[in-house]
Structure 1
Amino acid sequence: MDDLDQNLVSELRHNARASLSDLAITLGVTRTTVRQRIDRLQQRGDIVGFTVVLKEAQRDPVRALMMIGIEGRGIDRIVRQLGGIPAVRIIHTTNGRWDLIVELGTDTLEELDRILIHIRRFEGVATSETNLLLNTRKQT
């Protein structure tokens, strides 16, 4: 992706419903150029789709990040187990102290506590640390 493509993607992340004309004005190019760039980015697989984010679906009342340290070679099994928990929003693999960082969302702290206890009992989970998310300052 060149600079124009990156700027176009940035504008689409901010407002995916922006018209081709508005994007062209913002980027200082023609409407045809914007259309061709979007088509090319989709054909190459750089843009795989567009979505709608609903306000009520955007946030769970209780959100947390759970860092998990795994002993042995059970990471694939643990990722599968985590994938079966409805409160698990995202699973990240990482390097450093933690093997996984899991984003969780629940309606109550009590529900979060039950889920944390459940996850900590998975065979192979050696250590964990959980932080509550208080506020999201920026989201793309």
Structure 2
Amino acid sequence: MDETDRKLLSLLRRDARASLSELADALGVTRATVRARIDRMRARGEIEGFTVVTRGGDEAAPVRGLMMLAIEGAGAGRLTERLLGWPEVVAVHSTNGRWDLIVEIGTDTLAALDRVLAEIRAQPGVRSSETSLLLTTRRGAGGRP
């Protein structure tokens, strides 16, 4: 990946719906070059897909938290797959250090968050947990939602 690819990715992170012409103008290359670079990055797996970020995303689930989990044995993969099917689970991250997984959760009320936390703690293999509420989110130009 060269500097042009990195700039292209940065532009796409800001606006994945930008036209090939807009991207080409910003990069000082042709539309064909932009299309070829996007296709190449998709083929190599550097771009996995595109997404929509809604303005009301935090409003739909205003109570948000990060739940850190310590897992017994080798059950992190199974638990990750199970949790990804829950509507309140935004994402599951594997990590190093004290915690094995970090679960992003979004609900409409504190009571709903409390219920989800209790249900996750009751899952087989969960040894311990710690949860932090997200109060404010700020995103950088290259940050993902």
Note whether the superposition's TM-score is higher than 0.5. Answer: yes
- CA offset at residue 36 of structure 1? 2.3
Give the corresponding residue for 1:79: 80
Q: Percent identity?
A: 59
Q: Tell me, in whole angstroms, the C-alpha distance in 1 between the residues paired with 2:126 and 2:53.
A: 33
Q: Tell me, in whole angstroms, the C-alpha distance in 1 between the residues paired with 2:10 and 2:129.
A: 35
- CA offset at residue 81 of structure 1? 3.4
Describe the SS at the equivalent of 1:86. coil
CA RMSD of aligned residues (A): 1.8
Q: Tell me, in whole angstroms, the C-alpha distance in 2 between the residues paired with 1:118 and 1:21.
A: 49
Q: Which protein has the larger Cα radius of gyration, Structure 1 or Structure 2?
A: 1
Describe the SS at the equivalent of 2:49. coil
Give the corresponding residue for 1:43: 43
Give the corresponding residue for 2:123: 122
Give the corresponding residue for 1:111: 112
Say whether 1:54 aligns with 2:63.
no
| Residues 74, 47 of structure 1: alpha-carbon distance in 2 compared, 3 angstrom cutoff | closer
Post-superposition CA distance 1:66-106 (Å, at most 9, x none):
00112233323322432343211111111100011000010
Give the corresponding residue for 1:7: 7
Give the corresponding residue for 1:137: 138
TM-score scaled by length of structure 2: 0.84
- CA offset at residue 112 of structure 1? 0.4
Structure 2: unaligned runs, 5 residues or longer: none
Q: How many residues align?
A: 139
| Residues 84, 51 of structure 1: alpha-carbon distance in 2 compared, 3 angstrom cutoff | closer
Structure 1: unaligned runs, 5 residues or longer: none
Give the corresponding residue for 1:20: 20
Give the residue type in structure 2 aligned to 1:71: E
